[in-house]
Amino acid sequence: MENIKKTYDHQKNVLDGIDLEIKQGEFFVLVGPSGSGKSTLLRMIAGLETISSGVLQINDKIVNHLRPKDRNLSMVFQNYALYPHLTVEQNILFGLRAKKVDKKEQQKRLMDAAEMMGLTELLKRKPKQLSGGQRQRVALARSVVSHAPLCLMDEPLSNLDAKLRAHMRMEIRRLQKRLGLTMIYVTHDQVEAMTMGDRIMVLNDGIIQQVGDPITLYNEPANLFVASFIGSPKINLGEAVIADKQLIIENTIHIPIDVTAMQNMIQKEHLTVGIRAEHVFHATEETKSHMLEVVNVEHLGNETLLTFEVGKQLWTAKWLGQWKVEVGDNIPVKLSIDYMNFFDSKSTKLIKPANIVNQEKEVVAI
């Protein structure tokens, strides 16, 4: 995609200057809030929306004016788009019949896809006799039998319950690897994006915020939007100043600093710090840096989420295991500048990522 733009009636750009290359065999995720332009971009790739300006190439061939059926791709929609009067088998084979594929080949592809998707027993049923998960698998099977090397998916799991979503995420990922598909997957769910994508593009208001692998986006977010959008629970943010050899966050938390190491930030008047929930550590009376009052507790079984009030902000700590903590308790915590990202509050851009990034990369490498 080279400088792709989309406008309706020459109003404000829905997509503004999208420059992007997606590699063959890649699972590429487009993520962003509702209205950011994700689905519009996907539909432009499919040929369902016109491109206002810019160039779209598939396999080095300009396809701007090609009809959808001539682009050699398949698409799975959010609402499944199944024909209610056709059986599962007829729905899966619909595209192959339209292309007049040989009947033996149709049956072979049908049985392969049905077995892969666990639909073998359901081929004679109509869509109304299927659950949401089964309908989604029919839509996936229809995409698989096309043997198109490029598969587009527009929020295909948003209508499913949490347990089925987790299962289908894994199935789609396995399917993509097994068939060697290039997959472009749209979602507003950052957990889906993090767990499925080889690379992720974060989109907001029609503008690319950052493109990278999931861990880079998590550890080194390009700006405050990416930092707060990627990661669950959300990153803890606070306005900060540097004064008297201290980092002061939200006029509440004071952390002594090495002034020489922070030289490039001392000049900044508008700082925002961000620290992930897992980096707000539990401490003992001897190791604590601060005491914080608990305002909410969420017991999730395998971990506990604690919420603290820090100035005008609510910060979350994520601790493994089960903690007997009550609202109103004052808890000793350890906050370290090493785990903090620094952003320019005005431009929102990242000034300095957390030092822990390099340490964690080394640990993983070992």
Query: For 20-59, b where at least 16 C-beta lie within 10 A, e where not — what string?
Result: eebeeebbbbbbbeeebbbbbbbbbbbbebebeebebebe
In a domain, 133, yes or no: yes
Give the C-alpha distances (Å, rounded to integers) separating 99 from 95, 103, 113, 146. 6, 11, 18, 10
CATH number (domain holding residue 147) = 3.40.50.300
**Is the CB of residue 172 less than 8 Å from the CB of residue 27?**
no
Same domain, 175 and 155: yes
Same domain, 115 and 134: yes
In a domain, 350, yes or no: yes
Structural domain that includes position 243: 234-365
**Is the CB of residue 140 less than 8 Å from the CB of residue 76?**
yes
Same domain, 89 and 147: yes
Same domain, 201 and 91: yes
Same domain, 169 and 216: yes
In a domain, 21, yes or no: yes
In a domain, 53, yes or no: yes
Alpha-carbon distance of 346 to 37, in angstroms, equals 25
- Place 187 in a pLDDT band, splitting at 50, 70 and 90: very high
* Mean local confidence (pLDDT), 166-192: 90
Q: For 43-98, what is each residue's pLDDT tens digit?
A: 999 999 999 999 999 999 999 999 998 999 999 988 888 999 999 999 999 989 98
Chosen domain end from 164, 195, 224: 224
Same domain, 294 and 322: yes
Q: For 192-202, what is each residue's pLDDT tens digit?
A: 999 999 999 99
What pLDDT sits at residue 363? 42
Same domain, 85 and 213: yes
What pLDDT sits at residue 362? 44
CATH number (domain holding residue 256) = 2.40.50.140
Residues in contact with 70: Cβ distance below 8 Å, sequence separation at least 6, in sequence order: 47, 63
Alpha-carbon distance of 75 to 36, in angstroms, equals 20
Q: For 147-175, what is each residue's pLDDT tens digit?
A: 899 999 999 888 778 888 888 888 889 88
- What count of other Cβ atoms lies within 10 Å of the Cβ of residue 321? 9
What pLDDT sits at residue 123? 94
DSSP of 104-159: HHHHHHHHHHHHHHT-GGGTTS-GGGS-HHHHHHHHHHHHHHTT-SEEEEESTTTT
Position 222 pLDDT exceeds 90: yes
Alpha-carbon distance of 108 to 113, in angstroms, equals 9
In a domain, 79, yes or no: yes
Q: What are all long-range contacts of 157-161, with beta carbons under 8 Å and residues at least 24 apart?
A: 157/187, 157/189, 157/192, 158/78, 158/187, 158/188, 158/189, 159/78, 159/79, 159/132, 160/132, 160/133, 160/136, 161/132
* Mean local confidence (pLDDT), 298-309: 94
Question: How many independent structural domains does the chain possess?
Answer: 2
Q: Which of 278-287, 309-318, 349-358 has the lowest mean pLDDT?
A: 349-358
Same domain, 154 and 32: yes
Same domain, 194 and 249: no
- Give the mean pLDDT of the chain: 90
In a domain, 303, yes or no: yes
Helix (H, G, I), strand (E, B) or coil at 70: helix
In a domain, 229, yes or no: no
Helix (H, G, I), strand (E, B) or coil at 189: coil
**Is the CB of residue 268 less than 8 Å from the CB of residue 289?**
no
Helix axis angle for 88-98 and 103-117, nearest 10°, is 140
For the entire predicted model, the pTM comes to: 0.89
Chosen domain end from 193, 224, 255: 224
In a domain, 184, yes or no: yes
Same domain, 43 and 71: yes
Same domain, 211 and 298: no
Q: Given the structure tokens 């994700």, which residue do they identify?
A: 38
Structure tokens at 294: 């608990």
Same domain, 154 and 22: yes
Alpha-carbon distance of 183 to 178, in angstroms, equals 12
Give the closest residue to 197 by CA, choosing from 132, 153, 161: 153
Chosen domain end from 202, 224, 246: 224
Alpha-carbon distance of 5 to 19, in angstroms, equals 10
